[in-house]
Amino acid sequence: MKIAYDGTDFSGYQVQPAGRTVQGEIEKGLWRLFDEPVRVASAGRTDAGVHARGQCISFSLQNQSIPAEKVAIALNTRLPRDISARDSEDMPADFHARYSAVQRVYRYYLYPSLTRDPLRDRYVWRIRQTPSIAQLNRYASCLVGEHDFTIFASARDRSDRRVRTIDHAVFFPEGARIVFEIAARSFMWHMVRSIVGTLVALEKNGASQAELQAMIASGDRSLAGETAPAQGLVFHRVVYHTDDRLAPGRVPSVARTAGGVTE
Amino acid sequence: MKIAYDGTDFSGYQVQPAGRTVQGEIEKGLWRLFDEPVRVASAGRTDAGVHARGQCISFSLQNQSIPAEKVAIALNTRLPRDISARDSEDMPADFHARYSAVQRVYRYYLYPSLTRDPLRDRYVWRIRQTPSIAQLNRYASCLVGEHDFTIFASARDRSDRRVRTIDHAVFFPEGARIVFEIAARSFMWHMVRSIVGTLVALEKNGASQAELQAMIASGDRSLAGETAPAQGLVFHRVVYHTDDRLAPGRVPSVARTAGGVTE
């Protein structure tokens, strides 16, 4: 199932002892709809305040009274206004929203402006100066490929391995906003926001591409910029493989995109 | 002063006995800033749930401790998150945000989609079918010029005269949304939302331009469609005249635009 949410009023995606969570609301809605307790898996566990346009979740049901492709529509009537189920389909039993995902795509929205804009503030990071998109893209190109991204790991990161492979990373304008899109099989906790905060600070200070490369190579987390605020981040899309359905475990050849929403 | 606000959590612009209002919050902020009671005039009194990007207000101050062009920045620190003061300047004593305005521009945002989108719902009217923009523009062209718009008047409308002159009215796509922009010196209460609701219904029913023209000519309010919901409407811009500053009362020749924000 593909879901979208406004993260503003959630304590994050994942169920936790206290606080309103996206997962909690969805599991509550499914319970009401199917009259059975359901635990859902997700492609990514977004933080408090982070939004999603193309998050994907998977779950198993005993109650098969509603055809799989109608479950999203039915669930919508049981979800709060800030979450919506946008699409649902039946998947093979070994499909798992988290483990079957081969690519996660995040977008981060920058809004260069001297004054607050109440019609945008919920979904952007407002920055005072207008950065050079060309320079930001020079930095972004240094991220693409396999690198040890220790400098973008949070101090609380528990990963045993900080090597990740970035498939693409690009800045582009969209009206008055600047969008950063980054795609990888997996990210570390806070990694995208740390990258954005660092690249914006580098651009402001007129740093060269070589300086960013040296920073990454150093593995010194103290060199990274501040973590950009949660509200600018949107979990945009998850990519699975059609092959997963046919021959799980095989190297996939054709990528299938879920959650690709044109802005 | 040019102001912007997210209308979602307001009972409307205008101060009223109960409820949180935009005018109330601004007057409270000005009082705290200048230590004197201030009453503000506005270019338009938007309804509950209606947003503004380029609303304009005017007021007089005894306390002149802050230069006029810095008042917006200073006031911002005393305003709630859903209102911002974007720009301020000194005007001649006979300037009045309401009476000096020669054009008001509204935008209405339609979002054709079968499913809710929590990242858009606050600022759009979601409609199920994708309308023909070309057909909507054929209807819109019938509105331009001077007409008796009785059919778009609310049942509670108290205007003694329902003739208005529409300067322009146009639909255009903006990503996945369809924007309707309409400009006139003045509108009746609920008029823009009544126009949008009516044109969308006409398009759905495959009505001709001639049918709309006949409806308008009939003056029969029962023929108008439902009033489109408040959250899709944004008070976009107000136009004043530079001539107002030089020779108030004279026929103006050069229009000066306040509040024009590029989307």
Note if A47 is an active site residue. yes
Are A23 and A15 in contact by the 8 Å Cβ rule? The answer is yes
Q: Which residues of B touch A6 (CB under 8 A)?
A: 118-119, 121-122
**Which residues lie below 8 Å from residue B82, measured CB to CB, with a gap of 6+?**
A118, B5, B6, B8, B9, B10
Distance from CA of B149 to the nearest CA of A (A): 30
Could you give the CA distance from residue A54 to residue A36 in angstroms, rounded to a whole number?
Answer: 26
- The full set of domain ranges for chain A reads 2-87, 103-228
Phi, psi of B85 (to 5 degrees): -95, 120
| A85 residue type, one letter | A
Retrieve residue B13's tokens. Answer: 């612009």
Q: Which residues of A touch B262 (CB under 8 A)?
A: 175-176
Confidence of residue B86 (pLDDT cuts 50, 70, 90): very high
Could you give the CA distance from residue A154 to residue A157 in angstroms, rounded to a whole number?
Answer: 5
Q: A115 vs B53: CB contact, 8 Å cut-off?
A: no
Residue A168's pLDDT is what? 96
Residue A255 pLDDT > 90? no
Are A113 and B53 in contact by the 8 Å Cβ rule? The answer is no
Q: Does B243 touch chain A (CB under 8 A)?
A: no
Which residue would you say has higher pLDDT here, B254 or B66?
B66
Range list of H helices, chain A:
22-34, 68-76, 133-143, 191-204, 209-218, 243-246
Are A251 and A112 in contact by the 8 Å Cβ rule? The answer is no
Q: Does B175 touch chain A (CB under 8 A)?
A: yes
Shared fold status for A2-87 and A103-228: yes
Share of chain B above pLDDT 70, in %: 92
Residue B176's pLDDT is what? 92
Residue B115 pLDDT > 60? yes
Residue B211's pLDDT is what? 96
Could you give the CA distance from residue B263 to residue B17 in angstroms, rounded to a whole number?
Answer: 35
Segment B82-105 mean pLDDT: 95
Which residues are A125's β-sheet partners? A110
| B173 residue type, one letter | P
The sign of the dihedral angle between the CA atoms of A123, A125, A130, A135 is: negative
The sign of the dihedral angle between the CA atoms of A81, A87, A90, A91 is: negative
CA neighbor of B119 nearest in space, from A55, A71, A19, A172: A55
Lowest mean pLDDT among A14-23, A109-118, B198-207, B249-258: B249-258
Q: B262 vs A175: CB contact, 8 Å cut-off?
A: yes
Lowest mean pLDDT among A116-125, A250-259, B43-52, B211-220: A250-259
Q: Does A72 touch chain B (CB under 8 A)?
A: yes
Segment A225-244 mean pLDDT: 88
Taking CA–CA distances from B233, the nearest residue in chain A reads: A119
Could you give the CA distance from residue B215 to residue B224 in angstroms, rounded to a whole number?
Answer: 8
Taking CA–CA distances from B234, the nearest residue in chain A reads: A119
Q: Which of residues 129-168 of B touch A (CB under 8 A)?
A: none
A58-92: pLDDT as tens digits: 999 999 999 999 999 999 999 999 999 999 999 99
Q: Which residues of A touch B83 (CB under 8 A)?
A: 118
B147-183: pLDDT as tens digits: 999 999 988 877 778 999 999 999 999 989 999 999 9
How many A×B Cβ pairs under 8 Å? 78
Q: Does A68 touch chain B (CB under 8 A)?
A: no
Buried b (16+ CB within 10 A) or exposed e, A212-233: beebbeeeeeeebbebbbbbbb
Confidence of residue B248 (pLDDT cuts 50, 70, 90): very low
Residue A244 pLDDT > 70? no
Retrieve residue A229's tokens. Answer: 């605020």
A158-211: pLDDT as tens digits: 777 899 999 999 999 998 999 999 999 999 999 999 999 999 999 999 999 999
Q: Which CATH class is domain A103-228?
A: alpha beta
Q: Find the catalytic residue in A6, A35, A47, A243.
A: A47
Residue A251's pLDDT is what? 37
Q: A118 vs B5: CB contact, 8 Å cut-off?
A: yes
Phi, psi of A171 (to 5 degrees): -105, 140
Q: B261 vs A176: CB contact, 8 Å cut-off?
A: yes
- Determine how many CB atoms are found less than 10 A away from the CB of residue B100: 21
ipTM of the complex: 0.78
Q: Which residues of A touch B175 (CB under 8 A)?
A: 262-263
Could you give the CA distance from residue B107 to residue B236 in angstroms, rounded to a whole number?
Answer: 6
Retrieve residue A184's tokens. Answer: 């990888």
Work out whether strand A233-241 and strand A103-112 pair parallel, antiparallel, or are unpaired.
antiparallel
Longest dimension (CA), chain A: 60
Residue B254 pLDDT > 80? no
Residue B156's pLDDT is what? 80
Lowest mean pLDDT among A17-21, A255-259, B66-70: A255-259
Q: B76 vs A116: CB contact, 8 Å cut-off?
A: yes
- Determine how many CB atoms are found less than 10 A away from the CB of residue A69: 11
CB-nearest partner of A6 from B73, B86, B118: B118
Q: Which residues of B touch A262 (CB under 8 A)?
A: 175-176
Residue B246 pLDDT > 90? no
Residue A261 pLDDT > 90? no
Could you give the CA distance from residue A229 to residue B234 in angstroms, rounded to a whole number?
Answer: 27
Q: Does B84 touch chain A (CB under 8 A)?
A: yes
Q: A123 vs B118: CB contact, 8 Å cut-off?
A: no
Residue A198's pLDDT is what? 97
Residue A250 pLDDT > 60? no
Q: A175 vs B263: CB contact, 8 Å cut-off?
A: yes
Confidence of residue B242 (pLDDT cuts 50, 70, 90): low
Q: A76 vs B262: CB contact, 8 Å cut-off?
A: no
Taking CA–CA distances from B5, the nearest residue in chain A reads: A118
- Mean predicted lDDT score pLDDT of chain A: 90
Q: Does A176 touch chain B (CB under 8 A)?
A: yes
Residue A243's pLDDT is what? 46
For tokens 């669930």, what's the residue? A75
Could you give the CA distance from residue A241 to residue A239 in angstroms, rounded to a whole number?
Answer: 7
Residue A242's pLDDT is what? 55
Lowest mean pLDDT among B9-23, B25-39, B54-68, B237-251: B237-251
Which residue would you say has higher pLDDT here, A113 or A242?
A113
Segment A3-12 mean pLDDT: 96
Could you give the CA distance from residue B62 to residue B130 in angstroms, rounded to a whole number?
Answer: 53
Segment A85-110 mean pLDDT: 95
B4-41: pLDDT as tens digits: 999 999 999 999 888 999 999 999 999 999 999 999 99
For tokens 């990963």, what's the residue? A159
Which residues are B164's β-sheet partners? B147
Residue B243 pLDDT > 70? no
Distance from CA of B220 to the nearest CA of A (A): 36
For tokens 């999203």, what's the residue? A72
Q: Which residues of B touch A116 (CB under 8 A)?
A: 4, 76, 81, 84
CA neighbor of A228 nearest in space, from A108, A148, A115, A52: A108
Q: B118 vs A83: CB contact, 8 Å cut-off?
A: yes
In what helix (H) or strand (E) does residue B239 lie, and over which residues does it extend? strand B233-241
The CATH-assigned architecture of domain A2-87 is 2-Layer Sandwich (3.30)
Fold exhibited by the domain B103-235: Alpha-Beta Plaits (3.30.70)
Could you give the CA distance from residue A188 to residue A166 in angstroms, rounded to a whole number?
Answer: 12
Could you give the CA distance from residue A218 to residue A224 in angstroms, rounded to a whole number?
Answer: 11
Distance from CA of B202 to the nearest CA of A (A): 27
